[in-house]
Amino acid sequence: MAGSLFDDDLTGDGPAASPSGLSGAAMPGAPLAERLRPTCLDEVIGQSHLLGPGKPLRVAFEAHRLHSMILWGPPGVGKTTLARLMAAAVDARFITLSAVLAGVKDIREAVEQAQAARTTGRGTVVFVDEVHRFNKAQQDAFLPHVESGLFTFIGATTENPSFEVNSALLSRSTVHVLKPLDDAEMRQLLLRAQALLGAPQLTPGAETRLVAHADGDARRLLNAYDNTVAAAGPVATLDEALLERTLGELLRRYDKGGDQFYDAISALHKSVRGSDPDAALYWLARMLDGGVDPRYVARRVLRMASEDIGLADPRALQLSLQAAEVYERLGSPEGELALAQAVVYLAVAPKSNAVYTAWKAVRALVRQDGTRTVPDRLRNAPTGLMKALGHGQGYRYAHDEAGGFAAGERYLPDGLEDLQFYEPVSRGLEIRIAERLAQLRQANEQARASAGRQTPGDSSPPGV
């Protein structure tokens, strides 16, 4: 069967764990990641939000009760391992399909295998790796068998299942989100690998570099470590220089939380702010090439649209949001083009930080000024008692006024009447916004003068 594997050795009790806590399940010549694959739940590193005491998958394991599910997470976090362990926990036949290679014919064969297992009183788990690569017809082929209980369906995906998995199949499955391994968990995995291989220790710098290179992907970490050990020969320690020689360009990653990571982000942001699309594209490419999560880049692009373009071109925020959504649908590398499009647009768009500056000033005022009373005319008055207390009295409904504007009205609390936070710049749409605000402010002054009311002096609190 193309793209599939039927392996009863993956079910039942499985091989016993070795005293070192290593699975020892694979042949010595197998890849290190396979040789370290856990054979029981307690060997699994990470995913404590799902596997900790009382957590969903731990409860299912302990109760020997499975449900159809989608395991959603980045590469190398244990999706396949968890599927195998769940099948073993209930002594089920484990059938795995690769959506990259398999088709409807392979699904039919899997159904026949599950039907044969049922005649012996044995359940079946059908695991579909990269399920998002199956088209609608292929995904629909699972539905009647999931509903009938012929087998338990487990799909693994690196893409958002809301976009990539049919709603009918999604509604019959529970989505469990798996997280990248953190640095402490990656170091724990390295200790296991070192114990299995009997390899020399990594220097602290090399260990930090290797963990940063893996970026939460256990398989990447183990492959890199295995290659380094194989190339090292008889050495006392594995240092950074050896990593560089062994892994070469593969080490061109960004240390999450380190200076290089934030320096590249800063360079991208400042290139956009400086209206240099070429430099902005360069730093975007450097970040993506270095392994930065494109979703993080998308969030930063949204921030740039609000902070540095603002109302000078409101389309910038809309286009940035659309780019983030396109990436979620397409993933890498196709979705990265949408991020590049947004970055170029932001770089060439007119710039304004007027809203950003105004917002910071307002927040600073509110933090230091305390709680001022809402003027009675602006208060809500849904009951007779509130109306009797004067709430809402004297309020001027702007839509009933000439031009839809209550000239001369004030909306800030008493004592803050003349504060102005937002000052549009003379670029982009804010040119017209500034003109409109000037007209409204002039109308306010004229209305107040004609009513015989003098504009109060500046009574803003200190520091504003």
Residues 219 and 263 placed together within one structural domain of the fold: no
Looking at residue 178, its pLDDT comes to 93
What phi and psi, each to the nearest 5 degrees, are found at residue 65? -130, 115
Position 423 in a domain? yes
Contact 222, 78 (CB under 8 A): no
pLDDT of residue 369: 84
**Helix intervals (H) in 178-258:** 183-197, 204-214, 218-232, 240-247
Q: What's the pLDDT at 260? A: 66
Q: What is the DSSP string of 401-419?
A: SGGG--TT---SPTT-TT-
Phi, psi dihedral angles at 42 (to 5 degrees) = -70, -15
Domain boundary among 251, 272, 292: 251
Residue 290 burial (C-beta neighbours within 10 Å; 0-12, 13-18, 19+): middle
Residues 41 and 88 in one domain: yes
Same domain, 124 and 202: no
Residues 187/218, Cβ–Cβ less than 8 Å:
no
Q: What is the pLDDT of residue 18?
A: 32
Q: Which residue type occupies 210?
A: L
Token pair, residue 432, equals 């017209």
| Residue 354 included in any domain | no
What is the distance between the alpha carbons of residues 381 and 383, in angstroms, rounded to a whole number? 6
pLDDT of residue 10: 39
- The whole-number mean pLDDT for each consecutive block of 10 residues of the chain, a chain of 464 residues, reads 41 33 53 91 93 93 91 92 93 92 89 94 94 89 92 92 87 92 93 90 88 85 89 83 74 54 86 93 89 88 95 95 93 92 95 93 87 86 85 88 86 83 88 89 86 51 36
Are 408 and 268 found together in one domain? no
CATH of the domain at 401: 1.10.3710
Question: Given this model, what pLDDT does residue 259 score?
Answer: 55
Distance, first Cα to last Cα, the chain: 73
Residue 276 to residue 279: CA distance in whole angstroms: 6
Predicted pLDDT at 351: 95
Which CATH number do you get for residue 235?
A: 1.10.8
Q: Do 170 and 139 form a contact (C-beta atoms < 8 A)? A: no
Instruction: Decide the pairing of beta strands 93-98 and 124-129.
Output: parallel
Pairing of strands 69-72, 174-177: parallel
33 and 173 fall within a common domain: yes
Domain that holds residue 424: 372-450
- Measured CA to CA, the distance from residue 320 to residue 315 in angstroms comes to 8
- Residue 14: count other Cβ atoms within 10 Å of its Cβ: 17
Residues 100 and 150 in one domain: yes
The pLDDT, as a whole number, for residue 114 is: 94
Residue 381 domain-assigned (yes or no): yes
For 242-275, write each residue's pLDDT tens digit. Answer: 887 877 655 555 555 555 677 888 999 999 999 9
Answer for the pair 31, 196: CB distance below 8 angstroms, yes or no: no
Establish if 460 belongs to a structural domain.
no
pLDDT at 264: 85
Q: Give the number of domains in the chain.
A: 4
- Tell whether 246 and 314 lie within a shared domain: no
Sequence-distant (6+) residues with CB within 8 A of 230 are: none
Q: How many angstroms separate the CA atoms of 175 and 162, rounded?
A: 10
User: Of 251, 278, 294, which residue constitutes the final position of a domain?
Assistant: 251
Q: What would the pLDDT profile of 388-443 be if each residue is shown by its tens digit? A: 888 888 888 889 888 888 888 888 888 887 788 888 889 898 899 889 888 888 88
145 located within any domain: yes
Residues 165 and 60 grouped into a single domain: yes
Q: Is residue 191 part of a domain?
A: no
Quote the CA–CA distance of 306 and 312 in Å, as a whole number: 10
Residue 44 shares a structural domain with residue 28: yes
Location of structure tokens 């050495």: 235
89 and 235 fall within a common domain? no
Residue 226 is which amino acid? D
**pLDDT value for 17:** 33
Q: Would you give the distance in Å from CA 152 to the centre of its chain? A: 28
Q: Is 302 helix (H, G, I), strand (E, B) or coil?
A: helix
Centroid of chain to Cα 293? 8
69 falls within a domain: yes
In a domain, 127, yes or no: yes
| 123 and 29 in a common domain | yes
CATH number of the domain that residue 33 is part of: 3.40.50.300
Domain match, 302 and 275 both: yes
- How does pLDDT run across 347-401, given as a tens digit for each residue? 999 999 999 999 999 998 888 887 888 888 888 888 888 888 888 888 888 898 8
Query: Pick from 251, 272, 296: which residue ends a domain?
Result: 251
Structure tokens at 393: 């009295």
